[in-house]
Amino acid sequence: MVIRLTQGSSYGSSGGDTTATTAPDSATPIAASVYLPSPCNNYSTIADPTRLITSAGGLACDNTFFTTVAATPNYIRFIAPGGTQLATSPPNNANGNVCGTQVAGWTNVTYPSVAGQTVNAFVNYAYQGNPSYGYQYWVVVINCNGFYVFGIWAPPNCDYRYCTEP
């Protein structure tokens, strides 16, 4: 049996206006609330199609695009037309000359499947045939119940850039 309460009331309260109704067991239960971490409501969006792993290379630079205090990442939601998540594989031949830059950032993260779940992963950078050239950086990936928010830090050098995929 499913018990439904009227809005603003609580089951078993002593108030005179509280009502409870019952529904048959076949009724669709009301979904429980899901706790979402604060970055799910406090992020910046990027809709840049040049970030797509399939876009041509260039000289775009993320170390001046993002500002980072050591312990605080930039919380970003990537949106169309520029892809909705970080690229999950290096560019073809690990060349790196894609997504508007010369050194292409990608991650092999397993994206969290549960709303509210957060995972940490490394971002690798592909350059001149090496899929893991130079630096690796942490990235935080948060499942915000239908989209992902990424906690990312500014890379150390110009031409290092986070790439996306649809």
**For residues 65 and 6, which has the higher predicted lDDT (pLDDT)?**
65
Percent of residues, the chain, with pLDDT higher than 70: 80
pLDDT at position 33 is 79
The answer on 55 and 72 residing in a single domain is yes
Please check whether residues 23 and 79 belong to one and the same domain.
no
Q: Are residues 43 and 21 in the same domain?
A: no
What is the model's pLDDT at position 10? 34
- Helices (H), ranges, the chain: 62-65
> What is the extent of the structural domain holding 93?
38-165
Q: Which of residues 70 and 110 earns the better pLDDT score?
A: 110
Domains contained in the chain, number: 2
- 99 and 25 belong to one structural domain: no
Q: What is the band of 66 on the pLDDT scale with cuts at 50, 70, 90?
A: confident
Contact 127, 103 (CB under 8 A): yes
Say yes or no: 148 and 68 in one domain: yes
Q: Distance of CA 67 to CAs 61, 63, 156, Å?
A: 12, 8, 11
* Stronger pLDDT, 21 or 59, i.e. the higher one: 59
Bond into 81 cis (ω within 30): yes
| Residues 19 and 80 both lie in one domain | no
Residue 125 sits in the same domain as residue 75:
yes
- Asked if 129 and 96 sit in the same domain, the reply is yes
More confident residue, 117 or 93: 117
The reply to whether 154 and 83 lie within a common domain is yes
Kindly state whether residues 93 and 145 are assigned to the same domain.
yes
pLDDT at site 31: 57
Question: What's the pLDDT at 32?
Answer: 66
The Cα–Cα gap between 3 and 25 comes to 10
What's the mean pLDDT when you consider all of the chain?
82
Q: Do residues 90 and 139 both lie within one domain? A: yes
